[in-house]
Amino acid sequence: MAVPVSIHTTLGFLSHALLLCSILYGAGGMQGWFYYRRYGKRDPWAIRALVAAVLICDTCQIGFLYAAVYDYTVTTFTLFRQIGSLRVRLGIPTSLCSIVTLVLLESAPRTFIYIFIYVSSKTLALLLRLFKMLVVTLLAASAIVLVTRFLSKRRGIRLPPGPSGWPLIGNLWDIPASYEWEVYAKWGEKWGDLLSLSFFGTTIVVINSYKRCQEILDQKGNIYSDRPYMPMAAELIEMKDAMGFLPFNKRLKFVRRLFHQELGSNSAVKEFFPQEEHLAKKFLKRILRNPEELRGHCFQHAGAIILRVAYGYEAEESNDPFVNMANTAMDNFNRAVAPGAFLVNQMPILLKVPDWFPGTGWKNLGRSWAKDYWFMMDEPFNLVKKQLAEGTAKDSFAAKWLKQNLSPQEELDLKFTSGSMFGAGADTTAVTIYAFFLVMAMFPDAQKRAQEEIISVIGRERLPGFKDRDRLRYVEAVCKEVMRYHSVVPNGLPHCAASDDIHDGMFIPKGAIIFPNIWHMTHDPNVYKNPMEFNPDRFLGEKPEQDPNDIVFGFGRRFVPYHTTTSAVNEFLDVYPLLPRLCPGRLLGNASIFITVAMSLAAFDIVPQDGEPPLSLKYKTGIVSHLYPFKCKISPRIDPESLYTLIN
């Protein structure tokens, strides 16, 4: 073997050895610090002594290892340098180095044996030190785990049950990479409706039942109203000021109350009914002209509703730039917070890694996504400010509050509130409407019955409106069943424990991430009979099953007194002291779904496409569960000209 190749191999071995040392030392220290922070207050002397022992042990091991590496390096390079200098003295080309080495070894076999034994012994010693350090670190970390578990059990406090983890990494290998809500539901069959798992010092608690969500997220909202820190979205995409990422503080209370005044009551939402009906008719026209672009029409329609409410903006008939950018920004968000997609969400320290370091391409990806996010936030809001200055602004959420004497911080909060309304509201509403067309093609009997109800209640001379809603009970049941059948946000938005809590004898530590398993709650066989079937009748009769509106819009009711310098807001706070963490746009979203469903049923027949495979509900993983594209045939129930007349 040529000398340069040997040196390269040695350097590679040493670099990997040092890297392994650093990883083990860091992992041991992180594990010790995590357990010290979590349990040190309960038994400080025992935990501190144990953590100190681990750190001292690891420090000694790392020192010994560096000494061994240094000794090995000096010895190896000395031998290689001697062989190399001999090659130079003899004037032999590098290409013949291996031949010369063989000749030297043939002429001096005893010397070769001595060199081989010496280098091998040094290598073996180094490997033994590496193995010793690995064993000591794992044993020390395991000791911390066992001691802390013993101390917790001794006090009768334990985490909710769940899959057993490994030292250091916890349940890292157990966390599902996709469709986690289905995995959590299966785990619930074994461990119950409250389960937990942990990795790298982070505890995840999954709630699998509506009752538990009420007990924890609603009744203990003062503890569970925070949001977990997700650096990929919060820092790199710069979404930390968006309403969904704000911690439980004064800013959150202020922006949600602004939201609640505009959309938080039935009387407030009724002001937008004329615009909703107008936009639903425009949606029918787009489908009538081009039914093949159904998915695009759904997103265009949902975006147009929110743009009109939030900014007074009339969206273009197709490919509106604001709608397109909002869809792109929400797709980016979906990818950024997907479980396991980016390690930085579990280890925020990775934000400190330099951009030039290999494997940090996710940083540039996040910054590129930030441009789309800021376009969605800035452009519509700046347009309203410009229109207000020119005196051409239409009534809207943003325009109404910009006319008040807001402070700079309150104006900034208003911008993020409007943008959050636009981004999140449009995405979830669009997916629900798209799912409605799928299930109508899959279940023609339900579609036929809803159409018959519309004809019997209002006839064929006009389209249904909000004034008919109370009489269209089966159509209302169809809307509920669509939201139950496909949970658009199956894992809900995660909550975070602001302090330690003991619930039903189980310990939930501060910083734990709480996931309400919305999908399982809407498919729980103990609540819904035959939950995998589409059956609107379940919400009718003397004993209707649970209304999915109680579940799909989230949890987190709480009392939040707050004071601000804006007199108009103060007057509102006197009237509305109670504010939930659940979706603030739920009433508007519910109204949008109803009017779109009712008018679509009155105008169209929706059937499977000829020659296509049978339709089924196929959805993607993510915070927002989008449907895979499908094909169906949408045809007007009357001739197109008469339908145009009816729409107009």
- Binding-site residues for heme sit at 583
Question: DSSP string of 408-463?
Answer: HHHHHHHHHHHHHHHHHHHHHHHHHHHHHHHHHHH-HHHHHHHHHHHHHHH-SSS-
The binding site consists of 583
- Bridge partners (DSSP) of residue 206 are 195, 515
> How far apart, in whole angstroms, are the C-alpha atoms of residue 28 and residue 160?
25
CA pair distance 226, 222, nearest whole angstrom = 9
DSSP per residue, 520-580: HHHT-TTTSSSTTS--GGGGSSSSPPPPTHHHHT---EEE-----S-HHHHHHHHH--EEE
Would you call 516 helix, strand, or coil by DSSP? Answer: strand
Which is it for the CA torsion 439, 445, 449, 454, positive or negative?
Answer: positive
For 86, the enclosing helix (H) or strand (E) is helix 44-90
From CA 581, how far away is CA 554, in angstroms rounded? 8
Q: Do the Cβ atoms of 357 and 349 come closer than 8 Å?
A: no
Amino acid in the structure at residue 225: S
Euclidean distance between CA atoms 445 and 433, whole angstroms:
19
In the structure encoding, which two tokens stand for residue 66, read together? 């560096």
Given a contact cutoff of 8 angstroms between Cβ atoms, the answer to whether 452 and 510 are in contact is no
Query: Hey, how many other C-beta atoms are within 10 angstroms of the C-beta on 465?
Result: 16
Place of tokens 């059956």: 535
Backbone angles phi, psi at 555, to 5 degrees: -135, 165
Report the largest interatomic distance among the alpha carbons of the chain, rounded to a whole angstrom.
108
